[in-house]
Amino acid sequence: MADRYEKIEKIGEGSYGQVWKVKLRDDPANSKNKFVLKLIRLEKANKKEREYAEQEVKLLKTLSHPNIVSFKDHFWYDSKQTQLGIVMSLCEGGDLYKVLKSKKGGGKLSEHEVMQWFIQIALAVQYLHSKNILHRDLKTQNIFLTRSNLVKLGDLGIARELKEDEMASTLIGTPYYMSPEIFQNIPYSYKSDIWSLGCILYEMTSLKHAFTAHAFSSLVHKIINGEPPKMPTGYSKGVCDLISRMLNKEIDARPSARDILQTPFVQEKIKKFLEDSQSKQKRPSR
Ligand code: ADP
Ligand code: MG
């Protein structure tokens, strides 16, 4: 299976393994068809954990949503089963983090652009939640754009569950998107994903993190006890209200993904988004 794909270039590397841009080897007709191969190192995992990882991939393969990176294939990359390979569709537009970074110093995103992207992310989150799946690592680096400017949520956690201790994995990176409860030993829930979604909307409008600090401990303190972040300027009350509701420190007061999508302000944007995508679909046949 593994040699069906030819590596083109490495596009990511982390403690878990590598991410490659690949193409099908024996597919001249579709030579332009490119994919992403994520290799997850599992040499330290025991048999049960390996089975779990495979089971998790199988579950993710059943997901089908226009705003979620689709899984194409999976296989053990080597005969010793130390690396699990997952093939996904490629998002040529890169990740949202890089897009936002490139805007710094230049113009902000328009409210229209922000909301067009945000509703697609919220739809993806609602879909996952409706399947009882938590994302657990929602951040702009895990949101990808396609060539046609569609948003796809990616990095659905396979290895995530395998890490012995959630806190330990949090400490590896800076926990900009972590909700207050996670630092208070309250289990991760749907509402923790919503907090992260609030951080993402804040970042899209302000081009900076909702919570920042120079030291880890002061960042945690700000998330737990600090004032809500200063609202972005140049955006409507509808956008600012959404951010405030999602960044509510009280878990139960935070809206669900469904609540967000049912907000009249958001409904209006969804209507516009659907109209736009329908007219785009019609255009080539004219
Ligand atoms: P991890 O965060 O565990 O390293 P990701 O799945 O987020 O793994 O992939 C790492 C990086 O590789 C992403 O931030 C992105 O830049 C790139 N990448 C991953 N999947 C895709 C994809 N489907 N299309 C385009 N780029 C991708
Ligand atoms: Mg990632």
pLDDT digits (tens, 9 = 90+) for 70-107: 999 999 888 888 899 999 999 999 999 999 999 887 78
In contact, 192 and 181? CB cutoff 8 Å: yes
Q: What is the pLDDT of residue 31?
A: 67
Q: Residue 131 corresponds to which tokens in the numbers above?
A: 């399947």
Ligand 1 pocket test, pick from 144, 145, 147 with the greatest ligand atom count within 8 Å of Cβ, gives: 144
- Angle (nearest 5°) at CA 69 between 66 and 70: 85
Q: What is the pLDDT of residue 207?
A: 96
Query: What's the rounded Cα separation, in Å, for the pair 172 and 194?
Result: 22
- What one-character-per-residue DSSP string does 193-258 give? HHHHHHHHHHHHHHSS-SS--SSHHHHHHHHHHSPPPPPPSSS-HHHHHHHHHHT-SSGGGSPPHH
Q: Which CATH superfamily is domain 96-276 in?
A: Transferase(Phosphotransferase) domain 1 (1.10.510.10)
Q: How far is the CA of 286 from the centre of ligand 1 (A)?
A: 36
Three-state DSSP string of 100-114: HHHHCCCCCCCHHHH
Give me the residues paired with residue 87 across strands: 37, 73
Residue 11, SS3?
strand
CA-closest residue to ligand 1 atom 2: 155
The confidence band for 27, taking pLDDT boundaries of 50, 70 and 90, is confident
Average predicted confidence (pLDDT) for the chain: 89
Q: What is the pLDDT of residue 173?
A: 63
Q: Which of the two residues, 28 and 149, has the higher pLDDT score? A: 149
Q: How far is the CA of 39 from the centre of ligand 1 (A)?
A: 11
Q: Report the amino acid identity of residue 169.
A: S
Domain limits, the chain: 2-89, 96-276
Three-state DSSP string of 54-74: HHHHHHHHCCCCCCECCEEEE
In contact, 62 and 68? CB cutoff 8 Å: no
Which of 29-33, 170-174, 206-210 is least confident?
170-174
Give me the residues paired with residue 22 across strands: 7, 35
User: Is 194 a pocket residue for ligand 1 (Cβ < 6 Å)?
Assistant: no
Query: What's the rounded Cα separation, in Å, for the pair 25 and 50?
Result: 27
User: Is 123 a pocket residue for ligand 1 (Cβ < 6 Å)?
Assistant: no
User: Is 95 a pocket residue for ligand 1 (Cβ < 6 Å)?
Assistant: yes
Q: What is the pLDDT of residue 123?
A: 98
CA-closest residue to ligand 1 atom 14: 141
pLDDT at 199 over 90: yes
Handedness of CA 92, 258, 188, 203 (dihedral sign): positive
Residue 264, SS3?
helix
Which of 47-51, 184-188, 231-235, 267-271 is least confident?
47-51
Q: How far is the CA of 12 from the centre of ligand 2 (A)?
A: 9
Q: What is the pLDDT of residue 194?
A: 98
* CATH code, 2-89: 3.30.200.20
Query: What's the rounded Cα separation, in Å, for the pair 242 and 114?
Result: 12
Residue 35, SS3?
strand
Give Cα 50 distance to the centre of its chain.
24
Is 165 catalytic? The answer is: no
Q: What values do phi and psi take at 181, rounded to 5? A: -65, -30
Q: Using CA atoms of 43, 46, 51, 57 in order, give the dihedral in degrees to the nearest 10.
A: -40
pLDDT at 284 over 80: no
